[in-house]
């Protein structure tokens, strides 16, 4: 049995299952609340405010010393006595227990473990200095879930049956088989309080407050047979942005010094049962490690990350280790003999022995091949995964570039008016719908206009003609791991790089789009020499991509060329440094601009990964603002607007240019279970 699972963002867009009895969130109508009510949030589309680094670790230390506040240096946080704990309570706390306030070294954000008060660095300063009554106990208590979510959580939890109490029947055996729990004991299920929602056939994993004092949220896991494998689907209540859960946290003791982090709750069950070690499951799998969770992991002297059995899990483990302090982290390398913990349990493997083979995440600046050989073997054993995330909408781009890889720099250019921004927004949106956390820096057009273009591409049609569907599509679009910088016009490269570094730390950004480079050249000291300024900026983006293991797509305008000439790599504005530093060079050619009615096509003129270059045609659909869907298939476009939220799926016929058909399942779960399915195109 093989399993298609993308342990990324929880499935915020749960597509309706077959049958008329399924209601909102894919739950039975008896459990689903009434008609969807639009709730407007402060950040419908999250944006990064500038400046994004209001404080440094040195400034935090200096402030605490100046105020006479004692502190301890931790792995990723500073610990200090909490101003939110009353004096009477503080007297009874001694030693480490009195240092209950955790301050993130990178962002300055704090969390009080005693009162669960949290806030920004400015909030902490205000509370210490007594501004606006900020020192009152609990004034910054964590925001409680909305009443509607709380009621839904309690209703589902009360209806769910403890899995270990399920009567021995065919249904119970089928449930265990579907989720791979045949070797997980009732004692383990009871210890972790796992329940089963029979009408929806879903496992229910609870999110308890620290100390297990209250139920604050749920994750529901569904399984569906597909071919020879099982496909998992996830959803969370409340929405993922407020779901900062570490499954298994109430079972952690203050004396525990070692923990194993997994990307799935099922893996945590298997690991804890087999090894007896404390285990925690990350709420968003391999997609993101929210900094809000770091204080809960400070007590551990050793952290082992065993996130999955594919190359993407391995990359995520290395990324998360940077946040957690690599010197205390060890990583379990994926492989045939080291599958995911649940698979290892079902195969009868020794999980304790696999944990002993975990590799240290930290090493000196110079490494030997002995330290790299396992990673080389991993890439050779997973050639397709090493090629990166494949595009769903652009099969020809997969044929040439093979995929979208971390740590690379892509330079994109094209004539003025050819549709560079429109194409690159769909190019990035395609990856974002597959769980590639994306940060957009649009310096030329406003974020509102850019978001409108991307929303139109996402919905594959003009929403101004059907405003009654706006909330439905906007809710889905809002749940994408997509963020926007708030810059507009000329900006300093240092400010932009600082914003990008902040986004990588907080949101685990894997792809940054900069549109375009020319808007940063006027602020540099070398602005008198535009060529030197551009070389400096390109070098800064190259270094950022490599150091942060983040892909950067950089839009650069071309030089002025004769109208009857096609663009070449040498047509990129500036010196040859941009094309030399780039791993990929993409050129949007537009013959119709110079020869009348004609074709647009994309040219891959550089590909450092394997050297393949070439061109492929593009057809622009004005109604959907897309380059990937043939404009002649308007009849089928209407089906994508189905009231049930059915999404496009490529036909199995393999014909080029065939219009997507309709699918009711999330067949793209192997990449990201959160987003609408745009499955792999047939070759």
Radius of gyration of the chain (CA): 26
Q: How far is CA 261 from CA 294, 304, 567, in A?
A: 12, 6, 49
Distance CA 650, CA 606 (A): 28
Q: Which residues pair with 262 in a beta bridge?
A: 281
Q: How many CA atoms lie within 13 A of 223 on its CB side?
A: 20
Measured torsion, CA atoms of residues 286, 287, 292, 298, in degrees rounded to the nearest 10: 20
Distance CA 140, CA 116 (A): 8
Which among 649, 631, 525, 517 has a CA at the least distance from the CA of 577?
517
168: left (phi over 0), alpha (psi -120 to 50) or beta: beta
Residue found under tokens 């088989």: 177
For the beta carbon of residue 567, count every other beta carbon within 10 angstroms: 20
Tokens of 184: 């997980």
Which among 534, 520, 566 has a CA at the least distance from the CA of 418?
566
Which among 674, 219, 663, 71 has a CA at the least distance from the CA of 432?
674
CATH number of the domain at 393-626, out of 3.40.50.300, 3.40.50.1000, 3.30.465.10, 1.20.140.10? 3.40.50.300
Residue found under tokens 């789009």: 513
pLDDT along the chain (683 residues), means of 10: 38 32 44 39 40 72 92 92 68 62 91 85 86 41 59 91 83 86 92 91 87 80 80 84 82 92 95 95 90 91 92 89 91 83 93 90 61 67 76 90 92 88 94 93 90 92 87 90 87 88 91 87 60 88 92 89 74 82 91 58 90 88 81 43 37 36 33 38 35
Contact criterion met (CB below 8 Å) for 660 and 654: no
Contact criterion met (CB below 8 Å) for 497 and 537: no
Residue 20 is predicted with a pLDDT of 32
Q: What are phi and psi of 171, to 5 degrees?
A: -65, -45
Residue 370 is predicted with a pLDDT of 57
Q: Quote the crossing angle between the two packed helices 447-459 and 470-478, to the nearest 10°.
A: 110
Q: How far is CA 283 from CA 10, 449, 490, 521, in A?
A: 7, 32, 38, 40
Written as one string, the DSSP assignment of 574-611 is: SSTHHHHH-SEEEEEEETHHHHSS--EEEEEEEETTT-
Distance CA 165, CA 357 (A): 37
Residue 135 is predicted with a pLDDT of 37
Q: What are phi and psi of 159, to 5 degrees?
A: -80, -25
Contact criterion met (CB below 8 Å) for 114 and 108: no
Distance CA 505, CA 323 (A): 7
Contact criterion met (CB below 8 Å) for 513 and 439: yes
Please say whether the dihedral angle defined by the alpha carbons of residues 436, 442, 448 and 452, taken in this order, is positive or negative.
negative
Q: How many CA atoms lie within 13 A of 549 on its CB side?
A: 14
Contact criterion met (CB below 8 Å) for 328 and 301: yes
Sketch the domain layout of the chain as residue ranges: 55-85+95-126, 142-242, 255-386, 393-626
Which among 465, 510, 458 has a CA at the least distance from the CA of 645?
458
Query: What SS3 class is residue 180?
Result: coil
Tokens of 564: 């009857």
CA 318 vs. chain centroid, Å, equals 15
Whether pTM exceeds 0.85 = no
Residue 456 is predicted with a pLDDT of 93
Distance CA 569, CA 573 (A): 10
Contact criterion met (CB below 8 Å) for 111 and 84: no
If residue 203 lies in a helix (H) or strand (E), which one and from where to where?
Answer: strand 202-208
Cis peptide upstream of residue 652 (ω within 30 degrees of 0)? no
Contacts of 465 (CB under 8 A, 6+ apart): none
Dmax over CA atoms of the chain, in Å, equals 82
Written as one string, the DSSP assignment of 333-354 is: PPBTTB--HHHHHHTT--HHHH
Residue 84 is predicted with a pLDDT of 81
Residue 97 is predicted with a pLDDT of 60
CATH number of the domain at 255-386, out of 3.40.50.720, 2.60.40.1930, 3.20.20.70, 3.40.1360.10? 3.40.1360.10
Contact criterion met (CB below 8 Å) for 484 and 440: yes
Beta strands 359-360 and 409-413, pairing class: unpaired
Residue 334 is predicted with a pLDDT of 81
Distance CA 390, CA 275 (A): 37
Please say whether the dihedral angle defined by the alpha carbons of residues 84, 85, 91 and 94, taken in this order, is positive or negative.
negative
Q: What are phi and psi of 20, to 5 degrees?
A: -85, -5
Query: What SS3 class is residue 541?
Result: helix
Residue 187 is predicted with a pLDDT of 94
């Amino acid at each position: 049995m093989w399993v298609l699972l993308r342990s990324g963002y929880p499935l915020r867009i749960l597509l309706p299952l077959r049958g008329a009895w399924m209601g909102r969130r894919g739950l039975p109508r008896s459990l689903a609340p009434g008609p969807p009510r639009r709730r407007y949030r402060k950040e419908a589309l999250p944006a990064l405010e500038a400046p994004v680094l209001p404080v440094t670790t040195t400034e935090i230390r200096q402030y605490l010393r100046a105020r006479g506040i004692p502190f301890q240096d931790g792995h990723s946080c500073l610990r200090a006595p909490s101003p939110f704990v009353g004096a009477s309570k503080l007297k009874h706390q001694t030693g480490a227990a009195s240092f209950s306030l955790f301050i993130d070294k990178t962002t300055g954000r704090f969390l009080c473990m005693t009162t669960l008060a949290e806030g920004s660095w400015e909030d902490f300063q205000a509370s210490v200095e007594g501004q606006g009554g900020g020192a009152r106990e609990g004034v910054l208590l964590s925001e409680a879930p909305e009443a509607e979510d709380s009621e839904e959580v309690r209703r589902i939890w009360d209806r769910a049956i403890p899995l270990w109490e399920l009567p021995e029947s065919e249904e119970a055996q089928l449930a265990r088989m579907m989720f791979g729990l045949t070797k997980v004991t009732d004692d383990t299920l009871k210890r972790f309080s796992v329940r089963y929602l029979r009408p929806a056939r879903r496992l229910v994993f609870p999110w308890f407050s620290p100390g297990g004092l209250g139920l604050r949220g749920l994750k529901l896991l569904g399984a569906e047979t597909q071919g020879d494998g099982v496909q998992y689907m996830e959803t969370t209540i409340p929405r993922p942005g407020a779901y900062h859960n570490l499954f298994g946290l109430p079972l952690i003791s203050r004396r525990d010094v070692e923990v194993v982090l997994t990307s799935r709750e099922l893996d945590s069950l298997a690991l804890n049962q087999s090894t007896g070690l404390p285990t925690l499951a990350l709420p968003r799998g391999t997609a993101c490690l929210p900094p809000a969770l770091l204080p809960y992991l400070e007590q551990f002297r050793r952290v082992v990350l065993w996130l999955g059995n594919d190359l993407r899990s391995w990359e995520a483990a290395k990324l998360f280790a940077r946040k957690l302090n690599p010197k205390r982290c060890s990583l379990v390398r994926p492989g045939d003999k080291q599958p995911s913990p649940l698979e290892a349990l079902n195969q009868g493997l020794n999980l304790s022995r696999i944990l002993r083979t975990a590799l240290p995440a930290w090493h000196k600046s110079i490494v030997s091949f002995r330290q790299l050989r396992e990673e080389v073997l991993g890439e050779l054993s997973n050639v397709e995964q090493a090629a990166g995330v494949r595009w769903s909408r652009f099969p020809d781009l997969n044929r040439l570039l093979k995929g979208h890889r971390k740590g690379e720099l892509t330079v994109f250019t094209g004539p003025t008016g050819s549709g560079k921004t429109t194409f690159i927004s769909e190019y990035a949106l395609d990856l974002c719908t597959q769980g590639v956390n994306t940060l957009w820096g649009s310096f030329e057009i406003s974020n509102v206009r850019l978001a409108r273009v991307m929303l139109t591409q996402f919905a594959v049609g003009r929403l101004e003609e059907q405003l009654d569907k706006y909330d439905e599509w906007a809710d889905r679009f809002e749940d994408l791991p997509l963020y926007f910088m708030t810059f507009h016009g000329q900006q300093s490269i240092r400010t932009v790089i600082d914003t990008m570094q902040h986004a990588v730390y907080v949101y685990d950004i894997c792809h940054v789009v900069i549109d375009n480079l020319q808007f940063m050249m006027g602020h540099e000291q070398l602005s008198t020499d535009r060529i030197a300024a551009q070389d400096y900026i390109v070098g800064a983006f190259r270094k950022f991509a490599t150091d942060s293991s983040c892909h950067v797509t950089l839009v650069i305008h071309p030089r002025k060329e004769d109208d009857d000439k096609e663009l070449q790599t040498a047509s990129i504005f500036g010196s040859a440094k941009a094309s030399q530093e780039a791993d990929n060079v993409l050129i949007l050619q537009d013959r119709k601009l110079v020869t009348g009615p004609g074709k647009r096509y994309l040219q891959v003129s550089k590909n450092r990964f394997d050297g393949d270059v070439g061109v492929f045609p593009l057809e622009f659909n004005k109604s959907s603002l897309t380059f990937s869907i043939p404009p002649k298939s308007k009849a089928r476009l209407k089906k994508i607007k189905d009231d049930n939220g059915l999404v496009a799926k490529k036909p199995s016929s393999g014909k080029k240019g065939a219009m997507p058909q309709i699918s009711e399942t999330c067949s793209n779960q192997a990449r990201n279970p959160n987003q609408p399915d745009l499955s792999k195109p047939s070759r």
